[in-house]
């Protein structure tokens, strides 16, 4: 790792020689809230290594609804799996929290993956982590109550932001979790009464992180452990 490498944790895991292969192709871009970085079934032009902020990976449901299957941030790359395969995005990718990212063209990503076995291996292991995120999300959404799911979601957002204040509306949360807004409202009110979070319009503040961890199901811990085992990144 070089001190000049971006704050993305995957890039920081590369040695200097491998990062130098990427360096000429990386461009720092702003991640604007609500911006679409990928569309399911469309060919991707770029891969992104977030420095900050987060990107929501979603799949469409009936009646125009959607549900989040993973949240990416500084511990991830967007478009890596597609770059190593056919270049087609498997799901929609929308900027949830604004930030910045290192962007490079898919062709350059593939060229570095061909030249560096270490980089290629890291990207493959990252895709295994993303599969774990999606599988655990499916399990969680099927089996666990909304309160535990909301706690898990907030913990993941906190991991990526290093902030206990999250600029987010209940409506956006409901969309991400694939539930009705009144369900989120009821649960958020209960968590607020318990002193775990504080909610004002457009913002959720985590007051008691330990209590939020206790409220969450074990899905958050399971995915974090999988991330650490496959890549070595610990939050």
pLDDT per residue rounded down to tens, the chain (235 residues): 444 678 899 999 999 999 999 999 999 999 999 999 999 999 999 999 999 999 999 988 766 678 888 999 999 999 999 999 989 998 999 999 999 999 999 999 999 999 999 999 999 999 999 888 888 888 888 889 999 999 999 999 999 987 889 998 888 888 888 888 899 999 999 999 999 999 988 899 999 999 999 999 999 899 888 888 888 765 5
Contact 134, 69 (CB under 8 A): yes
| pTM for this model (two decimals) | 0.91
To which H or E segment does residue 28 belong? strand 27-31
Where are the domains positioned within the chain? 9-116, 142-226
> What is residue 105's predicted lDDT score, i.e. its pLDDT?
96
**CATH classification for the domain delimited by 142-226, as one of 1.10.10.10, 1.10.20.140, 3.40.1190.10, 1.10.3720.10:** 1.10.10.10
What are the residues whose beta carbons fall under 8 Å from the beta carbon of 28, sequence distance 6 or more?
A: 6, 51, 100, 101, 102, 103
Using CB atoms within 10 A of its CB, is residue 142 exposed (0-12), middle (13-18) or buried (19+)?
A: exposed
Distance CA 116, CA 138 (A): 33
> What is residue 40's predicted lDDT score, i.e. its pLDDT?
92
Radius of gyration of the CA atoms of the chain, in A = 18
Q: Kindly report, residue by residue over 90-137, the tens digit of the pLDDT.
A: 899 999 999 999 999 999 999 999 999 999 999 999 999 988 888 888
Q: Kindly report, residue by residue over 45-62, the tens digit of the pLDDT.
A: 999 999 999 999 998 876
Domain 9-116 listed as CATH 1.10.3470.10: no
> What is residue 1's predicted lDDT score, i.e. its pLDDT?
44
């Amino acid at each position: 790792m070089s001190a000049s490498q971006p704050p993305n944790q995957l890039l920081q895991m590369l040695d200097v020689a491998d990062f130098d292969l990427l360096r000429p192709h990386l461009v720092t871009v702003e991640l604007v809230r609500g911006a679409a970085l990928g569309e399911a079934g469309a060919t991707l032009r770029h891969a992104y290594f977030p420095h900050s902020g987060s990107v929501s990976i979603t799949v469409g449901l009936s009646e125009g609804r959607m549900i989040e299957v993973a949240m990416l941030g500084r511990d991830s790359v967007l478009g890596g799996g597609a770059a190593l395969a056919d270049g087609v995005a498997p799901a929609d990718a929308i900027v949830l929290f604004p930030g910045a990212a290192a962007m490079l063209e898919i062709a350059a990503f593939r060229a570095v993956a061909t030249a560096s076995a270490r980089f290629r291996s890291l990207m493959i292991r990252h895709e295994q982590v993303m599969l774990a995120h999606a599988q655990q999300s499916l399990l969680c959404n099927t089996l666990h109550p909304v309160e535990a799911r909301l706690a898990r979601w907030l913990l993941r957002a906190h991991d990526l932001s290093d902030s206990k204040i999250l600029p987010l509306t209940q409506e956006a949360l409901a969309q991400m979790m694939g539930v009705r807004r009144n369900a989120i409202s009821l649960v958020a009110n209960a968590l607020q009464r318990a002193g775990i979070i504080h909610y004002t319009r457009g913002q959720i503040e985590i007051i008691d992180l330990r209590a939020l961890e206790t409220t969450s199901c074990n899905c958050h811990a399971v995915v974090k452990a999988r991330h650490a085992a496959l890549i070595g990144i610990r939050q």
